[in-house]
Amino acid sequence: MTDHQPAKHAPVDEWESMLERFDDAAQLVNLDPSIHTLLRSPRRVLEVSVPVKMDDGRLEVFQGWRVCHDDSRGPAKGGIRFHQDVNAHEVTALAAGMTFKTAVVDVPFGGGKGGVRVDATKLSMGELERLTRRYTYEIAPVLGPDMDVPAPDVNTSEQVMAWLLDTYATLKGSFQPDVVTGKPLNMGGSLGRAGATSSGVLTCVREAFLRLGIPMAGSRAVIQGFGKVGGPLAFLLSSAGMRIVAVSDVGGAVYNPAGLDAFRLSDHHAQTGSVVGFKGADPITPDEMWSVEAELCIPAALANAIDEDVAARIGSKVIVEAANGPTVPHADAILSDRGICVVPDILANAGGVTVSYFEWAQSRQGYQWEEDVVAQRLRRTMEDSFLAVWQRADSLNVSLRRAAFVLATERVAAVIAARGIFP
Ligand code: NAD
């Protein structure tokens, strides 16, 4: 796969990065200029103030957003993030990422995202609940099972979704479990949702290795991040016969060329909250981890982790992006020139939204699917999507990322063209 995009200027922020990739796809597919203009702006950005009575009696007002980038293919879909760095541009970029992600896996949703600028780690459970309920109240006018369907994201959980659903039910006077996904099982959640993103990443690793002629058994992997996605992935990759040679988290990184024991590492993490200090490995810095020689690298932590500098020295042959936006646009060309295959985020981590779609469908049916049905349909969706992206990359002779954006752009544009612009 080749990628000869000339390096331009450094991206200003996540929204600029998203536009840069979308503009490239628009050019590749010769997109209708009106549809191009339309998709360069989000349909709706709701900014809200969220007043919360803190435990010590003070009132704090947090800033929050709910963005719908595009809802041509179905209700806006995307998580809610509670983080101190959340801002309108980041939420808008993440919402656009959902527009393209839902189109790549061809689930009938558009792209949405929400966030509150708050350090959630400093909140008590009571404060977290009051924040969630007031934020839900403020964004309720734009929510709805056929309008905008939230889910968990960074620092939000099943419990947060349960409060959201209850607040929405109280406001509307009716229980509508299809207004949110990632909710607890006993409120209409789906079996198989917890590990869906990691399972989808594993399918992409399998498919990529198969086509590149690299055996998984005995191959080495490095993972950045040991959270909800990176943690289960260490197990899944080990079970597939891979050797996890390095893992990093926010506290540091550990390295063992003979392979880390994923089970023992998980125990250590559960006890200490970090991979740091794990006895079965040597300490290295998180930055050194990128240069570790391996067949596979999984970024499963932060946006913009792989910049030009990291891209120039990364020691892996294949990168499968479990995180959202881990590679900055100008690093793409460097990775491509070095012959490194990158499976992009909008394909690689789409397992989560795929099972969110299954959950939404189950909630609408009022009928729970068996776990093996969910797993089988997830695997098939990921395999079909991977194949579609791979074939398009082949036929256009571009990277998998550019091919995924092309495929998604075509799907979204076809629906916009058929529906037309009101009035
Ligand atoms: P998480 O908060 O559970 O875990 C994040 C991990 O990254 C933690 O281990 C943390 O220590 C580590 N980390 C943070 N800063 C780091 C740094 N500077 N260096 C190394 N490690 C660092 O989050 P998660 O749910 O596992 O999500 C990880 C990524 O995957 C995010 O980009 C998220 O948007 C994306 N994603 C998650 C899902 C999902 O279902 N959870 C779905 C799609 C995409």
CA distances from residue 405 to 3, 21, 41, 100, 379 in whole angstroms, order as listed: 13, 7, 17, 7, 21
**Residue nearest ligand 1's atom 33 by CA:** 323
pLDDT in tens, 141-184: 999 999 999 999 989 999 999 999 999 999 999 999 999 999 99
Ligand 1 pocket, residues with Cβ under 6 angstroms: 154, 197, 224-230, 248-250, 286, 300-302, 322-324, 349, 352
Using the mean position of ligand 1's atoms as its centre, give its distance from the Cα of residue 389 in Å.
Answer: 25
What confidence score (pLDDT) does residue 2 get?
41
Kindly list the catalytic residues.
113
Instruction: Name the residue among 352, 330, 353, 327 with its Cα closest to residue 342.
Output: 327
Using the mean position of ligand 1's atoms as its centre, give its distance from the Cα of residue 311 in Å.
Answer: 20
What is 333-359 written as a DSSP string?
HHHHHTT-EEE-HHHHTTHHHHHHHHH
Using the mean position of ligand 1's atoms as its centre, give its distance from the Cα of residue 152 in Å.
Answer: 13
Atom of ligand 1 nearest to the CA of 325: 32
What confidence score (pLDDT) does residue 335 get?
98
pLDDT in tens, 296-329: 999 999 899 999 999 999 999 999 999 999 999 9
Using the mean position of ligand 1's atoms as its centre, give its distance from the Cα of residue 300 in Å.
Answer: 5
Among 81, 154, 284, 292, residue to substitute to test ligand 1 (most atoms within 8 Å of Cβ): 154
Among 228, 236, 290, 357, residue to substitute to test ligand 1 (most atoms within 8 Å of Cβ): 228
**Torsion sign over Cα 328, 240, 213, 208:** negative
Q: What is the mean pLDDT of the chain?
A: 96
pLDDT in tens, 184-234: 999 999 999 999 999 999 999 999 999 999 999 999 999 999 999 999 999
Instruction: Name the residue among 235, 159, 224, 161 with its Cα closest to residue 198.
Output: 235
User: Strands 316-320 and 341-343: what pairing?
Assistant: parallel
What confidence score (pLDDT) does residue 9 get?
45
For the cut 90, the answer to whether the pLDDT of residue 6 exceeds it is no
What confidence score (pLDDT) does residue 302 get?
84
**Residue nearest ligand 1's atom 15 by CA:** 250
Atom of ligand 1 nearest to the CA of 322: 30
pTM value > 0.75: yes
Placement of tokens 């889910």 in the chain: 151
For the cut 80, the answer to whether the pLDDT of residue 3 exceeds it is no
Using the mean position of ligand 1's atoms as its centre, give its distance from the Cα of residue 309 in Å.
Answer: 21
Mean per-residue pLDDT, 258-273: 96
Give the model's confidence band at 5: pLDDT under 50 very low, under 70 low, under 90 confident, else very high: very low
pLDDT in tens, 16-31: 999 999 999 999 999 9
Among 302, 345, 358, 359, residue to substitute to test ligand 1 (most atoms within 8 Å of Cβ): 302
Lookup: tokens for 412 = 């979204």
Using the mean position of ligand 1's atoms as its centre, give its distance from the Cα of residue 100 in Å.
Answer: 20
Q: What percent of the chain has pLDDT over 70?
A: 97
135 and 63 in contact (C-beta within 8 Å)?
Answer: no
**Residue nearest ligand 1's atom 24 by CA:** 228
97 and 18 in contact (C-beta within 8 Å)?
Answer: yes
Q: How far does Cα 11 stand from its chain's mean position?
A: 20
Give the model's confidence band at 411: pLDDT under 50 very low, under 70 low, under 90 confident, else very high: very high
For the cut 70, the answer to whether the pLDDT of residue 372 exceeds it is yes
**Residue nearest ligand 1's atom 3 by CA:** 227
94 and 113 in contact (C-beta within 8 Å)?
Answer: yes
Atom of ligand 1 nearest to the CA of 251: 11
**Torsion sign over Cα 210, 212, 215, 221:** negative
Report the alpha-carbon distance of residue 242 to residue 240 in Å, rounded: 6
